[in-house]
Amino acid sequence: MDYVNGPGRNHLFVPGPVNIPDQVIRAMNRNNEDYRSPAVPALTKTLLEDVKKIFKTTTGTPFLIPTTGTGAWESALTNTLSPGDRIVSFLIGQFSLLWIDQQQRLKFNVDVVESEWGQGANLDVLASKLAEDRSHTIKAICIVHNETATGVTNNLATVRKLLDEYRHPALLLVDGVSSICALDFRMDEWGIDVALTGSQKALSLPTGMGIVCASPKALEAAKTAKSLRVFFDWNDYLKFYKLGTYWPYTPSIQLLYGLRAALDLIFEEGLDNVIERHSRLGKATRLAVEAWGLKNCTQKEEWYSNTVTAVVVPPYIDSTEIVRTAWKKYNMNLGLGLNKVAGKVFRIGHLGNLNECQLLGCLAGVEMILRDVGYPVKLGSGVGAACAYLQNNVPLIPSRI
C-alpha cells in the first residue's frame, strides 16, 4: 500500500530517481527467470552491445552491476588504482564531495581542487598540476561531469585537451550519473577511461543497476591495480563474458528487461534527439527562473546543466519549505538543497523520459508554491517565458512524422 496517496499522477521532478515510462514498467512486470538458461545471456549480449552507444564508445567494455551510482564509483576506483595512488579530484558540490570521501576512505592520496558551489571544476589548477607533475605521480583525474547538487556541467573535452597537451598518462575517471544519456557525452572522443552511470537517472529505470564502461587502458590498469575488491572485480565479469554466460552472480531479470525497453525507447527517439530534448528542457527552465526574478545557483552560462537547475531563493525564504509545500499541496516532488546550499536552493530535475508539457506542469506548480511561501512572483511569468521558447523550438515527435 502507498504510504500516503495523493490525487492524480505524482509530479516527480527530483533529479533522480526519475519517472519510469509505462513501456519500461510493462517490460519489467514479469516473473523471474533462470539466468543460466540461454535466454538471459542472449538478452545480456544485446544489452552490452547497445549500452556502449549511450557512452558513445566502440572500444569500451561495459559492466552492468547490481548496485547504485555509489557502487559504480567504487568499481571504477578499485579496479584501476592502488592504495596510496595520487588522484586529482574536484570538489564542487555534494556528489563530488561524497565521491572524494569514498576515495579517501579507500586510502588513495587525494589532491582536492575545491571551487565555490555553483562553479565548475577549476581546470586552470588542473593545468598547473599537470605541468608540474613531470614524474607522473598523478595516477588519475576524477571528475563529476554533471554536479547534481548545484546544476553544474564540467567541460570534459577541456580536461582531455589538457591531459594531451601535457602528455600526461593519468587515467580519466568520470562520474556521468546525471549526464550520460541526457547530455553530450563522448567516451571515446574525450579519451575517458572509466565512465559510469546509475539506472535511476537519464535511463529512467528503477534504482539498482550501476553501468560502468572501461576503456582498453583502464582494463590494462586493472591487471596491476592492488586495491582490494571482491564484489566489484571486473575480472569476475570478464571470465563469464568469455564463457558467454555473462553473469558472475544473479542479475535482476526485471531490470535487464527494463533496460532493454529503456534503450529501445531511446534509440527510437534517437540519442541525439534525446540530448536535444534535454537541452530544450534546460533552457525552458532557466528562462522561467529568470522570469521569476530568481538566480540560478550555477554561476556561469558555460556550466549550465540541462538535467537539473538549482534555483536560489531570497534570504527570507527557506527553500525546504518550497519542497515541503510541493509535496503536501500539489503532489509534486522537487529536489532539496543539499549540505552547503541546504535551505538556500531548491532543485528542478529535468532529465529522463520527460516532455515539455510535463515540465510546464512543474513550472506552474513552482509559481503557485513561490506565492505560497511569500515570494511575490507574477503568476504565469515563468510558464509564459518557457512556453514562448518551447512553442518555437519543439520539433515533431520523430516516430510520428
Q: Residue 74: which of 253, 217, 223, 225 has the closest Cα?
A: 225
102 binds ligand PLP (CB under 6 A): no
The answer to whether 122 and 299 have CB atoms below 8 angstroms apart is: no
Give the CB-nearest residue to ligand PLP: 69
Give Cα 16 distance to the centre of its chain: 8
Shortest distance, position 271 Cβ to ligand PLP, whole Å: 20
Q: Which stretch binds ligand PLP (CB under 6 A): 63-71, 229-237, 240-248, 290-298?
A: 63-71
Residue with cell 564509483: 73
Q: Which stretch binds ligand PLP (CB under 6 A): 25-33, 171-179, 267-275, 376-384?
A: 171-179
Contacts of 343 (CB under 8 A, 6+ apart): 318, 319, 320, 337
57 binds ligand PLP (CB under 6 A): no
204 binds ligand PLP (CB under 6 A): no
Which residue lies nearer to ligand PLP by CB, 20 or 144? 144
Shortest distance, position 236 Cβ to ligand PLP, whole Å: 21
335 binds ligand PLP (CB under 6 A): no
Q: Which stretch binds ligand PLP (CB under 6 A): 35-43, 65-73, 78-86, 386-394?
A: 65-73
175 binds ligand PLP (CB under 6 A): yes
185 binds ligand PLP (CB under 6 A): no
Which residue lies nearer to ligand PLP by CB, 47 or 180? 180
Candidate list 64, 121, 144, 336; residue touching ligand PLP; CB under 6 A: 144
Which residue lies nearer to ligand PLP by CB, 180 or 387? 180
282 binds ligand PLP (CB under 6 A): no
Shortest distance, position 98 Cβ to ligand PLP, whole Å: 7
Residue with cell 537547475: 309
Residue with cell 565479469: 237
Q: Which stretch binds ligand PLP (CB under 6 A): 68-76, 103-111, 359-367, 381-389?
A: 68-76
79 binds ligand PLP (CB under 6 A): no
Shortest distance, position 387 Cβ to ligand PLP, whole Å: 29
Shortest distance, position 319 Cβ to ligand PLP, whole Å: 18
Candidate list 55, 95, 166, 234; residue touching ligand PLP; CB under 6 A: 95
> What is d(CA 347, CA 323) in angstroms, rounded to the nearest whole number?
9
Q: Which stretch binds ligand PLP (CB under 6 A): 47-55, 175-183, 291-299, 376-384?
A: 175-183
Candidate list 198, 335, 337, 382; residue touching ligand PLP; CB under 6 A: 198
Q: Which stretch binds ligand PLP (CB under 6 A): 66-74, 80-88, 164-172, 386-394?
A: 66-74
68 binds ligand PLP (CB under 6 A): yes
Give Cα 315 distance to the centre of its chain: 29
Candidate list 177, 219, 262, 289; residue touching ligand PLP; CB under 6 A: 177
70 binds ligand PLP (CB under 6 A): yes
Give the three cell numbers for residue 29. Answer: 512486470
Residues that bind ligand PLP (CB under 6 A): 16, 68-70, 95, 144, 148, 175, 177-178, 198
